[in-house]
Structures are given as C-alpha cells and as structure tokens.
Amino acid sequence: MKLVAIAIGLSLALSGSRARAQTHADLTYAVVGSAPLKLDLYLPTNGVPPYPVLIWIHGGGWAGGSKSPIPGVCNLALAQGFAVASLDYRLTTQAALFAPASVTFPAQIHDVKGAVRWLRAHAATYQLNAARFACHGSSAGGHLSALLATSSGVSALEGNVGGNLGFSSAVQAAVDFFGPTDLLSMNDDVTTPPGSTIDHDAYTSPESALIGWNQPGQGLGNIKANLGNPNAPYPQLVQLLAQANPITWVDPSDPPMFVAHGTNDTLVPRLQSTRLSAALFAAGVVHDYRAIPGAGHGLGGPIDPVVVAFVRGQLLGPNRPDAGTPYCAGDGSASACPCGNATFAGAHTGCAHSLGVGGNLNAIGVPSISADSLILRGDSMLDSTALYFQGTGALGGGAGIVLGDGLKCVGNPVRRLGAKANVLGASQYPGGADAPISIKGTALAGATLHYQVWFRDPATHCTVATHNLTNALAVTWLP
C-alpha cells in the first residue's frame, strides 16, 4: 500500500536565472504547417551526465505564454544537476501562423509529445538521460503535463509531430500546478469563496477555444445542454473533451505525479485537481496532492524545493536523503501490523501510516479552507467507520487529548483532535462545536505542523488488496 504526506504552504511566484554551462536556445523540434516549433534546452553547471531532464510546459490558457523565461523551479532543478527543456506549442490564437494545420485540441498535446520524442532522439547529442524524464507545467501547462503523464501510448493523442516515432513520449514523473482536468465540470467545480472570474461554459472561455467551439451560440455550456444529442457535432465534441481530460487515461501504469493547487484560485477551480487526485488514488498511482492555503492562480517559492525533491526521489531513487523522511513511524504496538498494512523497511513493527515529503507516496486527503480555519478532510475511506483526526503542536482553539490507542509519531507528540463518522466516503474536521484550526496569527509563522486521519477496521479491511487507509499532511505556515 502506498501512503502519503501532503505538505501545504502559502507560496509566491519565483523566477530568475543562474549561470549555466550551456544554453541551447530555439532548437526546432518540429515544423507544423509552415512554422517551426521550438524549445530551449539548458544544461546544468554541476551534476554528472547523462543528465535527468525536467521538461517545462508553460501556461496561458492554451492561448498565450512562452517558453522563456523559465520559472524559479527550473533554475532550482538546474542547480541540482537537471537539464531543463522549455518548449513552445501551438496556441489557439495562432491559426494564421500554423495554417493549414489546426491549433485546436489535440494539437497541443501532439506538440508536447513530439518535443519529448525529439529530446529522446537527441539525448546522446546533449548528454541527456533518456530513461529519466519528468514534466512540469502550470495552469494550461499543468493540464498538458498531467495529460502527457497519463496518456502514454494513446494513439489519438500521440500524433506524429516532429517524427521520431520510434522514440517514446512517456515520462517517468510529472508535476501539475493548478491545471484544468475535466473541462465540462469547470463551472460546476467553482466554490464561493473564492468564486471565479471566468464563465467556463461561455463560448468566449479558454476551454471553448481549446476545442474549437467558440462562436456565438456555442461553448461548453452548449455542449452540456446537448450531451444526449446524437446529431453531429455533439458526439464528436463530447469525445474530444473526454480525450482532453487527463483523468480519462489514468491507470496503474502511470508515473508518479505531484499535484498542487491554491485554495483561492479564481481561474481554475481547486476541485479540478481534487478530481485528478481521486482518480490517481483509485488507480493506485503514486502521487502527492497539495492544496495551498490562501494561494491563488500561481505557485512557486517555498514549494519549489518540495517539487524538485519529489522529482529527484522518483527519477533518482527514493533512498536519496532529499527524497523525504518518515515522520510517523508506526502505531507503537508490539504486534505486527493488522490486516496486512504495509510496514517500513527492516524489522520495524507497527503500521506505516504516513511518510514525509517525497518518495513513493500516494495522496488521498484533501484539505480546504473555510474563512480563517483549516479544514481537514478524510477521503476515500470506508463509510460507517470512525476516523480519528490527529495533529501535533498548538492547534488553534484546542489541543485535544493525548492519543492512547493508535498512532505514535516518532519525534512528534501526537494529540487526538476528534473522531468523525465517514459518510459517502468522506468526513471532515473541525465541524459543529469543534474548535477551529486557525490559519492566522504570527505564532504559527514558519512552523510546520503534522496532521493525520487514521482508522483501523479489522472486521472488513483485512486483505492485502484492501489495507487500512490513512491520510497524512504537513502544513507549513509561512509569514
């Protein structure tokens, strides 16, 4: 069983530059229509070739943006020995440039996959490790990063851009910052707060332009009103939207994925990432999902080292010092784990309930923000089961009681916050008369607190295939 730690921190965008051994700018990886598609390849000043590769996919609503400049996370990866490839792809506003080729979906993913194949075909030239590719993108780039990760080998999305068809377009790890997923659900996923500045169902929306249904009287809302209409073009449009959804292609063979989304994002609803996390969890895909309290449509800064650590852990091995360390080492019992729960390596007894950032992790918990309080959620667990919400340190209005019958965390005094019943696969804390977990006040600035949702149900959960489940998250409150 794969478990998770979800770390949360308010973060700001970061960009900049570092000295690099070589920068290969404007490398043409394909020609589409009459126009070239280009990428910039940065090689690190340190590290040992062949270099692992981080592929950056810019955002901009599939309508704008550029491969240059690269964001801070790419500079951090360069400093840690990664090569970075930043690529351009066809935008929905560039019909004249690429004519007669299309600039609507699946043009964008065809281009991205073409770039990956080009990089592999030229790996020896630039001393790249073709077996260690990761992708990262934000917003529309996050969507394409997730889609690249989940759709390896899907013929409709592979395309033939740039040729090199004898090379794989697969990646070995992926990062998705606040990318859309299920486009038809964008409006439905908007919550207030924070609300939305975009009517995603309108014919003027970026999503409507992506699939080429962006004239008056059209748009995603029109498609939703015609989901059962057998007449063209509605079946084709519905199929196109399904193909554009990374969740459609999720299966257990997908590479590890890091997903992050700000809770105050008013451009892409956070539930779009929640949907992806739930699908990855259901398929057993290693992933790390992080909701960032108070952050809007933009991440970076403090979360960047976490992203690079995750990618390093996946591409270079989970035993690296920067791949994450356990902070909860078991339930403290003298007996073996009940019901086939996974244990840590070695002779350790007790249950591997939660791990630190990075490594082979699987996210199943989704926190959210209400007013000035953190809400802890237990998702994807059995109904009618007591879920125990636990935490460390000062916890707002109340510290709960010392845990006496479950998890013990090495190095972290764990205290019981409360128990909740799971209904329809979910529960949350606090609720009702529970003391809030405050996200305000200087006392928490810079502190990292650990929380967990835990249950044991030996009556119905005692096979190797169905272990007890836990959620774990580490919340870093920044100044």
- What pLDDT, in 10s, does the model give residues 402-412? 444 444 443 34
Give pLDDT, residue 122: 98
Which CATH number is associated with domain 6-196+237-316? Answer: 3.40.50.1820
- Tokens coding 3: 């478990």
- Tokens coding 339: 């019901």
Cα–Cα distance, 392 to 399 (Å, whole number):
8
- Tell me the mean pLDDT in the region 230-244: 97
- Cα angle 349, 355, 357 (rounded to 5 degrees) comes to 160
Cα–chain center distance at 321: 22
What is the DSSP-derived secondary structure letter of residue 336? P
- What pLDDT, in 10s, does the model give residues 39-65? 999 999 888 899 999 999 999 999 999
- Tell me the mean pLDDT in the region 104-129: 98
Better-scored residue on pLDDT, 252 or 445 = 252
Cα–chain center distance at 396: 29
- Tokens coding 61: 């609503």
Give pLDDT, residue 382: 52
- Tokens coding 49: 């070739």
Q: Mean pLDDT in the chain?
A: 74
Give pLDDT, residue 406: 41
Q: Is the pLDDT of residue 473 over 70?
A: no
Q: Which residues are CB-contacts of 172 (< 8 A; sequence separation ≥ 6)?
A: 131, 132, 133, 134, 255, 256, 314, 315
Range with top average pLDDT, 126-130, 323-327, 357-361, 435-439: 126-130
Neighbours of 433 (CB within 10 A): 6
Q: Is the pLDDT of residue 293 over 90?
A: no
- Tell me the mean pLDDT in the region 204-215: 97
Q: Is the pLDDT of residue 348 over 50?
A: no
pLDDT band at 399 (very low <50, low <70, confident <90, very high): very low
- What pLDDT, in 10s, does the model give residues 264-288? 899 999 889 888 887 887 787 878 7
Count, residues in the chain: 479
Cα–Cα distance, 306 to 300 (Å, whole number):
10
For CATH 3.40.50.1820, the residue range(s) in the chain are 6-196+237-316
- What pLDDT, in 10s, does the model give residues 349-395? 233 332 222 222 222 222 332 334 566 655 444 555 566 666 655 44
Distances (CA, A) of 457 to 109, 222, 261, 386: 43, 46, 32, 9
Give pLDDT, residue 432: 72
Cα–chain center distance at 198: 22
Better-scored residue on pLDDT, 275 or 227 = 227
Cβ atoms of 6 and 363 closer than 8 Å: yes
Burial (CB count <10 Å: 0-12, 13-18, 19+), residue 394: middle
> Which helix (H) or strand (E) segment is 85 a member of?
strand 83-87
Burial (CB count <10 Å: 0-12, 13-18, 19+), residue 345: exposed
- Tell me the mean pLDDT in the region 232-253: 96
Instruction: In the chain, count H helices and then E strands.
Output: 11, 17
pLDDT band at 443 (very low <50, low <70, confident <90, very high): low
